[in-house]
Structure 1
Amino acid sequence: MGKKLKEPRDISTPEGRKLANHDLMWGDHGFLRLRFRNLHQISDEMYRGNQPSPKQVAAYAKELGIKTIINLRGESPKGYYVLEKEACEENRIDLIDFQMFSRDTPTPKKIHDAKYLFDNIAYPAFMHCKSGADRAGIMSVLYMHFRQGLPIAEAVEQLSFKYLHVKQGKTGMLDFFFQQYIDLVEQTPEGETPLTFLEWIDGPYDREAVKAEFLATWKAKMMVDRILRRE
């Protein structure tokens, strides 16, 4: 059984709505996103960015014609989510909660679910996490591969500093994950057909092994960096 959510913030009263807005602006750092949305159009039908406020949801509906918002943070009882859900209902936008993680390797099921999602939602669409950098990044790679037909080696551009993604931290696990497949393709013997991304996901991909290898490499690099700084 999944973890049971707490009761969602009640916004049916003025006091409850005030607290929800406080959650959004201060608890969730919404004040930092008032002017900077990290908003990017990555195709003629898809946008990516950071957590939208209710006003931004309304603007996306009116100015961009957004029909679907994919919330990569997952369902939450907190004010930022309750207000977004209300804003989507008011603007006739389908809100889809599709939780991703920025410091873990994805399961094969999650990869297949992402493909199904992109094949079945109404467009134009907008997907977001909190900052629009990491979880939005991995989903943008998958979108560009599954929906737009880009090779993974090209689609990984969606995980770059242009979108505020930092490879050097633990979120570099996402880059490491895709690089395992890119290396496999590049090492395919001449004359042989390389595995497709989904064939790799359903076959030799071992998410726990990839995660462990990244963490070991990352920890070793951190250790070397600390030693060099001391010398």
Structure 2
Amino acid sequence: MVKITPRKMRRPHVAADLATAEGRARAKRELYWGDHGFLRLRFSNLHQISPEMWRANQPSPKQVLAHARERGIKTILNLRGPTTKGFYLLEKEACEAAGIDLIDFQMYSREPPTVEKVFGARDLFERIRYPALMHCKSGADRAGIMAVLYKLLREKLPYEEAIEQLSGRYLHIRHGKTGVLDAFFETYAAFNAGRPANEWKPFLDWVAEDYDRVAVKTEFLQKLGKGPKLDQIIGRE
């Protein structure tokens, strides 16, 4: 008889108290070691993608202050979502000190976006203060899909130009689970295949009327299952 051991329940993470030396030290450990911030000390995956918008990986407090001082950043879009972890608490503190609006808009790197997220991104780009910077952990995938949406929805650029934001230049890897982001946009392109560029169905109309999120993910996973498990090989978040 097989004995089934119940899974251990994870204790909820308790936020570090930045008002104490011990709490601040713990928050820094969570940033630099728990979140691999030590790897980002000299590499920020920072790119200016328009006169008003930048994209990057998770910034340290010093980098947040540098963004305000050197680039005049007024808004930071945190695509990882809020958390009690030290990297978020320190970023929030630095934004408050620099007079930067920190806006949490959680995106996912291994899920096609919901209709609500796409339209939410459109509304977000219209109401934030610029210049702005958006970031995830690595600056590759979640920042990538948001950069494509920014190009399509804010700058009204052609698909072929916007999709360049989701590429190896920014460390995005399509040959793994993060390739579902490519699949989302490629489904839109396939829908318009054979039409002249000026006759493509507007992106938001397609999202609202034709986009089948479940079908996109199902088809992608079927194709992914036939290939090597790249995510396991490289151990990406």
TM-score by length of 2: 0.88
Q: Which residue of 1 aligns with 2:70?
A: 63
Name the counterpart of 2:3.
Answer: none
Gaps of 5+ in 1: 224-231
Question: Partners of 1:138 and 1:193 in 2: how far apart?
Answer: 23
The alpha-carbon deviation at position 187 of structure 1 amounts to: 3.3
Q: Which residue of 2 aligns with 1:211?
A: 217
The answer to which of 8-17 and 49-58 deviates more is 8-17
* Alignment match of 1:28 (pick from 26, 29, 35): 35
Distance 1:44 1:168 in 2: 31
One of 136, 139, 145 as aligned partner of 1:138: 145
Between the aligned partners of 2:72 and 2:162, the Cα distance in structure 1 is 25
Q: Secondary structure at the match of 1:96?
A: strand
Instruction: List per-residue Cα deviations over 1:121-176 (Å, max 9, x = no partner).
Output: 00000000000000000000000111111122321100111000011111011011
The answer as to 2:180 corresponding to 1:173 is: yes
Q: Report the AA paired with residue 215 of structure 1.
A: L
Q: Extract unaligned runs of 5+ from structure 2.
A: 1-11, 230-237
1:10 maps to amino acid: D
How many equivalent residue pairs? 217
Aligned with residue 200 of structure 1, among 194, 201, 206: 206
1:122 aligns to 2:129 (yes or no): yes
The answer to whether residue 16 in structure 2 is matched with residue 38 in structure 1 is no
Select which of 81, 95, 101 maps to 1:94. 101
CA RMSD of aligned residues (A): 1.5
Shift of 1:79: 0.2
Asked if structure 2 preserves the Cα contact closer than 8 Å seen for 1:153 and 1:182, the reply is no
How far 1:7 sits from its partner (Å)?
4.1
Report sequence identity in percent: 58
Counterpart Cα distance in 2 of 1:7 and 1:93: 25
Q: Residues of 2 paired with 1:216 and 1:51: CA distance?
A: 32
Query: Deviation string for 1:189-210 (max 9, x for gaps)?
Result: x7x9432111111111110110
* 2:8 corresponding residue in structure 1: none
Report the CA distance between 1:218 and its aligned residue: 1.1
Q: Which moved more, 1:61-70 or 1:152-161?
A: 152-161
Determine the C-alpha separation between the residues in 2 that align with 1:132 and 1:100.
12
What does residue 81 of structure 1 align with? 88
Aligned-partner residue type, residue 34 of structure 1: L
Residue 177 of structure 2 aligns to a residue in which SS? coil
Task: Give, in angstroms, the shift of residue 63 of structure 1.
Answer: 0.2
